[in-house]
Structure 1
């Protein structure tokens, strides 16, 4: 007999989908701007007006104000992951350093990590310079372990970071007193803290960036789907943009382009956000520093305390839709909402006791390459380029990608163009139904592994998780 579906209390005015709560916080989903009105000549055409596309346009115009840069967006700027993510401006790599080191050496992998560390402050500095109020608080990232197997993985994570040369200033364990002072998670057995992360309100960042690039003279055409990307041109129903460089910046939506269905898997992630929580809840929880929070489960969660004192809490729901299909405007199944609520209130019982409900839920996709490592590429022969495959770490990674694409487009050899993700090639995902079967088997095994680890007294990672890792190639 199947277990009953988890349920959750819904607040008055509850919203499911409508892109994300972050736009509700801004007063509603924006209307798309003007569409392309005919054929256009440009120096650089960028497909996709999320973080990657807008950062690339920003840095190109800052470097060469005379460049003609056009950005083409199917919906509105920030419609995809850039306006739906968990608000983690984190220096975590997309993928593991060993894979970058395998092709370019260990020092190159360390250089990529150092570049990611620096990217956090770069985004914060640009936001300040451009007057973008994105609710940024650089208070770091907490990794919590809630059972013995997770605690063992936390120790392994710390040892792994030390092996790569990162010290106490980059990642350190918290003792019981400091853990209690920072954030009280029910059942916590250990916690690591890294300073290399900041909280943001993601929609405020992407919409502020849109204003900045338009102010620099970039043409951004919204409600303009691109039907073909070819050397020298981006084709839309409303005209063709001819350009020496055409850059694909479509991340999780890449599978919708002709011939790209197996390039990056559109992996689904879902979020809930509570009503604003009363002072008594925060007295029980703490979280005065507003650090970002993640756990060490296989089916992991991510959370932040928002500027208006809600908890925004995310995790995997329905991980993948057959044929690499993508949702429309972020609607989320009731089962996923209930599962996230149970996980949130299991970590923070005071939230359930307060009688607070869920104000909003939404979902979105992130781009996952077959080897789980991001890439940046520009082909000087054809002028075609791309960046993406951020595996959920795109808020900061897209900024580094934008600066790297700038240098590649301008033909400059820099420290950024020497990073080991530049020009990285990886095989595509398996055809259907193997792709669907593999992804769903992987996440079913991860859920089962987490359940076993929560019940087991030992500190060993479940063998089911190791099988899942083998299936996915993580």
Structure 2
């Protein structure tokens, strides 16, 4: 499948007209109260809430490229209220009540992001909708039923999760060979680059300085060293997510997994009538190598998933450019689920990296000894997770004991990833096993393939 444009950071910036002009870089040594490394969602939300809570704080953001260069400006636009975690792992240092509180707090991020966007005049094509997960074979249907029941059993509002039969699922979106699915109500679709650029403008209006085209070379207690000078600050927040491995000393903290997307040309009204999708649901499937999709403001379909899952040494892409094989894989997923789109042009393809902790559980925290904080490891669910990170980091930095600072993800420490080449072998083996498991299930295997369980155990997923 040929594509009109590959890379250029992401389609979302093309949709806005152009990549933004960077702010001036750091012009030498400075002092601040709080220095935040990384101007994506996490860094911007943290700066926003800190400045709102204590306007006198001198806060600076330090960014290697421009605000929203990373996953914040490249993601699938799912404001889902979901986050990367394992209930079993969290139970080791929490209670059932703590986990339910965690889910409730995360779900509340949807309303909070929408509130701030309205208050700050951020037009990010936000549309409230449902999240629909579909099954197209018996093994996937088994997982859909299990996942639906599991979420309902732990959720603070189980009525927002609903199991669907094949006809009800098809009535929402005319998925080929659909056997059923489940929806989670109360979520939203966003244009991610518009959201992150709107946040950047909002924090600048509050008096936060953003220094772009400034590369951080070291983070230590009280100082952030860059190629443009040193920032001295009592508190430092590392908000680098998928790019964390590029910071000296953090090479094994989070795995930099790759995810890629394609976007179609705008579809005709006739084609939309054949597809349905009138509710603009966020769409995913129950495959092991899962996909994620949305119907955009102007009637396109974005389809995302794993391409080349991991580059040796946690290397990152060049300005979002992805491989032709990845584009072909995503096009196959799109046309398999929605064969109605087989004749549609693919206008843009791009990729980015996301951060994955060794236990696949998102964390946020602040070391009281060094006053260095962090948040991330969102495993692809950072649009909403980052908002809760920003609010939680604000309370931690200000020394407040709140419901947020007592949530079970706070200050969780996990062991680092293995050194190379074990990281590369593990990540690629995981996705090869997932691929084979999906193939076997598509061929008629009635239950979840044991190869998927092997992949999970291999990598701690």
Q: TM-score range with shorter-chain normalisation?
A: over 0.9
- Mapped to 2, the partners of 1:155 and 1:174 lie a distance apart of 9
Alpha-carbon distance, 1:380 to partner: 1.9
* Structure 2 unpaired stretches of 5+: none
Bigger Cα displacement from structure 2, 24-33 vs 157-166: 157-166
**Conserved in 2, the CA contact under 8 Å of 1:442 and 1:468?**
yes
- Mapped to 2, the partners of 1:176 and 1:269 lie a distance apart of 29
**Conserved in 1, the CA contact under 8 Å of 2:167 and 2:180?**
no
In the alignment of these two chains, the number of paired residues is 461
* Structure 1 pair 271–374 and aligned structure 2 pair: CA distance change class (3 A): same
**Conserved in 2, the CA contact under 8 Å of 1:161 and 1:167?**
no
Matched, 1:459 2:446: yes
Alpha-carbon distance, 1:41 to partner: 0.8
Alpha-carbon distance, 1:91 to partner: 1.6
Matched, 1:364 2:352: yes
Aligned equivalent of 2:382:
394
Matched, 1:217 2:203: no
Alpha-carbon distance, 1:168 to partner: 4.7
Give the one of 412, 418, 422 matched to 1:434: 422
* Structure 1 pair 62–167 and aligned structure 2 pair: CA distance change class (3 A): closer
Aligned equivalent of 1:79:
69
Aligned equivalent of 1:346:
336
Aligned equivalent of 1:115:
105
- Mapped to 2, the partners of 1:82 and 1:162 lie a distance apart of 29
Matched, 1:379 2:328: no
Alpha-carbon distance, 1:93 to partner: 2.4
Alpha-carbon distance, 1:9 to partner: 4.1
Bigger Cα displacement from structure 2, 92-101 vs 312-321: 92-101
- Mapped to 2, the partners of 1:105 and 1:177 lie a distance apart of 39
- Mapped to 2, the partners of 1:19 and 1:59 lie a distance apart of 27
Matched, 1:59 2:49: yes
Give the one of 85, 88, 94 matched to 2:84: 94
Equivalent positions of 1:128-147 (< 5 A) are 128-147=118-137
Q: Residue deviations 1:157-192, cap 9 Å, x none? A: 122123325555221112444323311111110010
TM-score, length basis structure 2:
0.98
- Mapped to 2, the partners of 1:263 and 1:198 lie a distance apart of 31
**Conserved in 2, the CA contact under 8 Å of 1:320 and 1:440?**
yes
- Mapped to 2, the partners of 1:415 and 1:433 lie a distance apart of 41
**Conserved in 2, the CA contact under 8 Å of 1:98 and 1:109?**
no
* Structure 1 unpaired stretches of 5+: 1-7
Matched, 1:309 2:299: yes
* Structure 1 pair 36–413 and aligned structure 2 pair: CA distance change class (3 A): same
- Mapped to 2, the partners of 1:425 and 1:312 lie a distance apart of 35
Q: State the secondary structure of the residue aligned to 1:43.
A: strand
Give the one of 414, 419, 423 matched to 2:411: 423
Aligned equivalent of 1:261:
251
